[in-house]
Chain A
């Protein structure tokens, strides 16, 4: 057992992180917010060329031939960078929808009650009949309400959890940076225990979620995936809230990127079915196996 990132996995993670820092940094993020509903097709193709969507396709099908753990790492970085777009749906469509793997096509998928990026998609997976637009809380994720209940692909649940993990990681980083530098009462606010303990809890939630998400990516076991989802949702949503608190008034502004993390974290909690389903499923699992 060597439950740590391999050299190759570290390199992959750093590669994605660099690509996103270069192509989707603070300026691009701001520009995206100023033009809600626009999808950067050039970036989408670049992601395709870098293998983001074809990561798990076999090499024989022009894919990268890697597995779920690598996909989880890539999606964690996407979450960290707050990359917009139907990333999970397009990734899952690679190999079945022409152009998805290369980032030529944008693929949206009908989820449970909601569909993201419907109006920008070239292809929509699932029945979007009767979809009604709603005024999305997340300026970077256009949403439609759709009738009906849809079963969610476990891989979508896992990759969403990986994005949540990335968001939680970023929120913790932002909070710690601020706590180290912002001074009040003659010292950095991070020297106050009330702030210090908020930050420590953010890290504890994030690292627990990390272990759960990575393990689920290795085993692909349904109970592991539900676990990852619950822990990652918690880390992302509470992490963003606590990060807001650490930033004081600045945390409540439109200018500061934090609210975008919180809003996206909320969107993701609904993308993969409801948390209660994961809880019920994990409760049932307790009775399924012998003590």
Chain B
């Protein structure tokens, strides 16, 4: 067991740190959370800067350890989050890299890396959430195209995405996991309507997407026809396995800020609150170690994160909510003021036990796939 980084990795860290020191002060001002076109431009602009500096492909071109260092350093330096680049960089990209043909990789990967194109994820449907494989959006072949009809929901960044990783049913007769295909759908195709949905935090983070006879070339299918569920599991393992790494670093920073704030406003004198902060420190330190453990494991087993990501996601999503609930205790009545820091974060933390697979579903995955317990009827 070893927690030391190699000289090459340390050199990467030092170089990145230096570059961030120079690049960050030249960033444009941050757009407001509701200004989606502005957010897209800001987030993809940052990706372009990373690309031009040679860090563009770090999310799936580099070793897991280098990626860990990248996420740690960018978060520590306060660099922008992947934001609108999330789906492209953290799951469509890795999925196409792992499962796509040479032409598909050449078509879609460079624009993701350059920050030219943003993706969204069209998996969930109104009647297919946790039971994702129950999806009904249909695609039937017509010449060289699939003709797609149906609707998707909770599609984050749909308004500003260029592409959608879309799950469709290509064989309605097959058992539900067998008749699904994974398509790359251009979001400007005729027949697509995007209706933004307002979240409990008051902003439009996600949307409903209606698909009315949308034509998607058959060449846009990643993986074999009706093999989309397997491809999806690859996508989801990326989403759960490594997508949250940088956030642990962010939570550790917030925790320190909370301690400083509590000292300032006197709540630090309450031993119960102090001990809660101490316990959260233990929690996020341990989650960081678990991240390093999982990354080392991925390093040894070829890069695709395993179901261990579910272990992390379960623990982390609850810890994050506990963190912001504790922030509310530190703030006292100010925790009701939307203009105070941490209040919006507290609201958005509520999605963590739901998005990317609910905690109940993660527990099923851990119990069935890691512990080998039988599936229920």
Binding site for B on A (CB under 8 A): 1-6, 9, 69, 176, 179-180, 187-188, 190-193, 195-197, 199-201, 203-205, 207-212, 214-215, 217-219, 223-224, 226-228, 230-231, 276, 278-287, 289-291
Contact = CB atoms under 8 A, between A and B. Distances in A.
A1 B9 contact: yes
Contacts of A2: 1-2, 296, 299-300
Contacts of B299: 2
Contact of B281 (A217, A218, A286): A286
A200 B297 contact: no
Nearest to B274: A283
B24 interface: no
A218 B375 CA distance: 38
Contacts of A200: 314, 362-364, 366-367, 371
B286 A212 contact: yes
Contacts of B276: 279
B292 A211 contact: yes
Contact of B300 (A4, A69, A278, A286): A4
B371 A176 contact: yes
B375 A193 contact: no
Q: Is the interface of A mostly helix, strand, loop or mixed?
A: helix
Interface in B262-291: 263, 271, 274-279, 281-283, 285-287, 289-290
Interface of B: 1-6, 9, 65, 253, 255-260, 263, 271, 274-279, 281-283, 285-287, 289-290, 292-293, 295-297, 299-300, 308, 311, 314-315, 360, 362-364, 366-368, 370-377
Contact of B363 (A201, A208, A287): A201
Nearest to B370: A203
A107 to B, nearest CB: 28
A214 B282 contact: no
Contacts of A285: 281
A210 B300 CA distance: 18
A199 B282 contact: no
B128 to A, nearest CB: 20
Nearest to A205: B315
Given A196-B364, A204-B315, A291 B289 contact: no
Contacts of B274: 279-280, 283
Contacts of B364: 193, 196-197, 200
A224 B3 CA distance: 13
A228 B370 CA distance: 23
Q: Which 4 A-B pairs have the closest CB atoms?
A: A279-B278, A283-B278, A286-B259, A190-B373
A196 B368 CA distance: 8
Contacts of B363: 193, 196-197, 200-201
Contacts of A180: 372-374
A280 B269 CA distance: 12
B19 to A, nearest CB: 21
A191 B372 contact: no
Given A193-B363, A279-B274, 12 more contacts: A3-B296, A180-B374, A188-B373, A191-B373, A196-B373, A203-B370, A208-B287, A208-B311, A210-B293, A228-B286, A279-B279, A286-B256
Contacts of B277: 282-283, 286
A204 B314 contact: yes
B373 A179 contact: yes
Contacts of A208: 286-287, 290, 311, 315
Nearest to A284: B278
Chain B CB within 10 Å, residue with most, of A3, A190, A212 = A3
B9 to A, nearest CB: 7
A44 B96 CA distance: 58
A211 B311 CA distance: 12
B13 to A, nearest CB: 11
16 contacts: A3-B2, A4-B297, A5-B1, A9-B1, A180-B373, A191-B375, A193-B363, A200-B371, A204-B314, A207-B311, A208-B286, A211-B293, A228-B286, A276-B275, A282-B281, A283-B275
Contacts of B308: 207
Contacts of A204: 311, 314-315, 366
A119 B367 CA distance: 44
A190 B374 CA distance: 6
Contacts of B3: 1, 3, 215, 218-219
A77 B260 CA distance: 41
A1 B311 contact: no
A170 B283 CA distance: 22
A208 B293 CA distance: 10
Given A212-B285, A279-B275, A283-B274, A203 B371 contact: yes
B256 A227 contact: no
B273 to A, nearest CB: 9
Contact of B282 (A191, A219, A278): A278
A222 to B, nearest CB: 12
Nearest to B287: A208
A211 B376 contact: no
Given A207-B311, A212-B285, A3 B1 contact: yes
A191 B65 CA distance: 37
Contacts of A226: 282
B122 to A, nearest CB: 29
A215 to B, nearest CB: 4
B371 A227 contact: no
A1 B289 contact: no
B368 to A, nearest CB: 7
Given A3-B292, A208-B287, A286-B255, A199 B367 contact: yes
A135 to B, nearest CB: 30
Contacts of B287: 208
B78 to A, nearest CB: 10
A203 B362 CA distance: 12
Nearest to A210: B293
A287 B256 CA distance: 7
Contacts of A276: 275
